[in-house]
A and B are shown apart, each in its own frame.
Chain A
């Protein structure tokens, strides 16, 4: 396990993370967040102090796995109700912006 480098999060790193998270952050935000996140990382890096050899991770407070139910057909929400909440709909479907770079 590598030890987290403390207090280091460059503007470029924040920009990269924002791209991964699909956030078109502004330059001002990059400067602001880089400083604030460095302070937050300093604080959270404290978890590295704990001796955790042979300690299993907890993903969930309640140990339950594979909760099963009967496979019963139930009515879905009405299509028009669902599409009413969408930013754009066409031909009874969600309309999405183009996905590929070429003109569609």
Chain B
């Protein structure tokens, strides 16, 4: 019984807890698995087993385990600040920092009775698509340890896919929930911008950053989203609308009736004339999934969104520009690292030495790029132009949604690539976000759900919906998941080798 906790969905864990299992048992099983497997995977930056077990025992003692999310373990991406618990955002500049407060996302999960397993690895300040930009080492893909787990939420994706957490929180600025979810066979959802509080997320690009769920099933993702969503007065960009009903939509979607639903296949994201950089296996799985939606009654048509071709250049101007401003707060004064404060250097020099030593290469590149794009003489040609392209992308979405209910595409152009293969080529690395960037720039919700394997590695299917219509993402994703599970006779993640094996250490 105890080893199977790590292959259960959260809804199954809820049933087990309601049926007499203790949160302490569940938590210990996960901690054992982390102890055995994380030396290889590198999913976590911080785990405090004693604190987790203490917390689980307290939930058990309260008698609430098994009601709602009480007693369910969870992992948080290290970009989420947690009071008194080390939070680094994957950067040396915050090594050893213990935040003085909780992010709203962390506070809501704590209030729901969840048990924090630990903080997960990530690309430094969420800048990256492979988690190789972490200052604290690489994270490996549970499907193949020589491959990247995606990024920037790659610690969260590896933890959940590898059975080291039942689910996890990620954040998505240009695809950092959806892309790692796709590459590890998970469900990952980027909520409508403004529908999940950003209070206490270490800022990367404030007009784009959004936290969301990464889970083994669509229903689990919906449950986690409901727990963290909703208005927060501490975030001035938080939208004041009721928490959406998502789990119910996931359950209804799983019944497999999509009649009347209009689905638009985006030509610019892997369609005719736009297949450069896409692997054939990814396109094949995508086409099969679209056919499956059609077989469940969906009306499928091709939609053209010409401005999507410019999403990548627009994003890689807007995000670095905002980052160069946001990261100015790391000045070596109020928190984190300070270098060169020996009496011979003034504040300016100490700042420059601190940031030089505290930031990694990709962060420096983006700060320099953002500084350039915002500088006088270049502002209009770069940042200003990118903001106008952003308007064109939003207009393409609006025009498309006048005709269809959801838009679909592959989540990523390729399956997980080998570790090290793109680290020296930023432009190649950025291309991993090709399909996820349009929804980020327009602030609309988008989900990634597995749609099969190519070369033995997971392929993700992206469903995008209009702002505040997140439930459509869950409905369509659940229909696809249920139909594929039925055809396969098992869940997607059950194909992962060794997934149900007893925890053993020292695997290569």
Tell me the B306-329 residues at the A interface (CB within 8 Å).
307, 310, 312-314, 316-317, 324, 328
A44 at the interface (CB under 8 A from B): yes
A99 in contact with B347 given A47-B382, A50-B307, A87-B336 (CB within 8 Å):
yes
Check B372–A17 contact: CB distance below 8 A: yes
Number of chain A residues whose Cβ lies closer than 8 Å to a Cβ of chain B: 61
Residue from A45, A61, A77 with most neighbouring chain B CB atoms (10 Å): A61
Q: Which residues of B contact A58 (CB under 8 A)?
A: 387-388, 390-391, 394, 441
Q: In the bound complex, do residue A62 and residue B193 qualify as a contact, i.e. CB atoms below 8 Å apart?
A: yes
Q: Is the CB of A87 within 8 A of B333?
A: yes
Interface contact B355-A61, CB-CB below 8 Å = no
Complex Cα gap A36–B422 (Å): 12
List A residues 15-59 near B (Cβ within 8 Å). 17-26, 29, 32-33, 36-37, 39-41, 43-50, 52, 55-59
Determine how close the nearest CB of chain A comes to the CB of B371; give it in whole angstroms. 5
| With known contacts A69-B233, A86-B335, A88-B338, A49–B368 Cβ distance under 8 A | no
Chain A residues with Cβ under 8 A from B369's Cβ? 37, 40-41, 44
CA distance A3 to B371 in the complex (A): 18
**Whole-angstrom distance from the CB of A92 to the nearest CB of chain B?**
14
In the bound assembly, the distance between CA atoms of A97 and B373 in angstroms comes to: 30
* Other-chain contact of A43, B331, B346, B381, B427 (Cβ < 8 Å): B427
Residues from chain B with Cβ under 8 Å of A87 in the complex: 332-333, 335-338, 341
Residue B351 interfacial (CB < 8 Å): yes
Cβ proximity bits B368-409 to A, threshold 8 Å, 1 near / 0 not: 110111010110111011111111101000000000000000
Which of chain B's residues 352-370 have a Cβ closer than 8 Å to chain A?
Answer: 352-353, 355-356, 359, 361, 364-365, 367-369
**Complex contact B385–A1 (CB within 8 A):** yes
**Smallest Cβ distance from B15 to chain A, in angstroms?**
38
In the docked arrangement, what's the CA distance between A60 and B443, Å? Answer: 8
Closest to B352 in A: A24
Residues of B within 8 A of A17 (CB): 368, 371-372, 375
How near does chain B come to A34, taking the closest CB pair, in angstroms?
Answer: 10
Query: Is there contact, CB below 8 Å, between B380 and A1?
Result: yes
Which of A13, A18, A20, A21 has the most chain B CB within a 10 Å cutoff?
Answer: A21
Q: How far is the CA of A85 from the CA of B97 in the complex (A)?
A: 6
Q: A-B contact count, CB below 8 Å?
A: 201
Contacts of A25 in B (CB 8 A): 356, 364
Asked if B427 and A47 sit within 8 Å, CB to CB, the answer is no
Please, how many angstroms separate the alpha-carbon atoms of A90 and B324 in the complex?
30
Q: Are A2 and B377 in contact (CB-based, < 8 A)?
A: yes
Bitwise, B430-462 to A at CB < 8 A (1) or not (0) is 100000000001111000000000000000000
Please tell me if the beta carbons of A97 and B350 are within 8 angstroms of each other in the complex: yes
Q: How far is the CA of A23 from the CA of B334 in the complex (A)?
A: 18
B236 lies within 8 A of chain A by Cβ: yes
Known: A2-B380, A23-B359, A29-B361. A77 touches B100 (CB 8 A): yes
B418 part of interface (Cβ distance < 8 Å): no
- Evaluate whether A43 and B430 lie within 8 angstroms (CB atoms) in the complex, with A23-B364, A37-B368 already known: yes
Q: Are A97 and B193 in contact (CB under 8 A)?
A: no
Q: In the complex, how many angstroms separate the beta carbon of A91 from the nearest chain B beta carbon? A: 15
With both beta carbons as reference points, the residue of chain B lying nearest to A26 in the complex is identified as B356
List the B side residues contacting A32 at CB < 8 Å: 361
B274 located at the interface, meaning its Cβ lies under 8 Å from any Cβ of chain A in the complex: no
Question: Nearest CB to that of B83 among chain A residues?
Answer: A81
Complex alpha-carbon distance, A96 and B351, angstroms: 10
16 A-B pairs, CB-CB below 8 angstroms? A13-B372, A17-B375, A18-B364, A22-B331, A23-B364, A23-B368, A26-B356, A33-B364, A37-B372, A40-B316, A47-B386, A60-B207, A61-B194, A84-B100, A87-B336, A101-B346
The 9 A-B pairs at the shortest CB distance, nearest first, are namely A61-B443, A57-B387, A87-B338, A52-B388, A24-B356, A24-B352, A58-B390, A46-B313, A44-B313
Q: A32-B361, A43-B312 are in contact. List 17 more A-B contacts (CB 8 A).
A: A21-B368, A47-B317, A47-B386, A47-B389, A50-B389, A52-B388, A55-B388, A58-B394, A61-B208, A64-B236, A64-B237, A81-B100, A85-B100, A87-B333, A87-B335, A88-B338, A94-B334
Interface residues of B (CB under 8 A from A): 97-101, 193-194, 207-208, 233, 236-237, 239, 307, 310, 312-314, 316-317, 324, 328, 331-338, 341, 345-353, 355-356, 359, 361, 364-365, 367-369, 371-373, 375, 377-378, 380-382, 384-392, 394, 425-427, 430, 441-444, 467
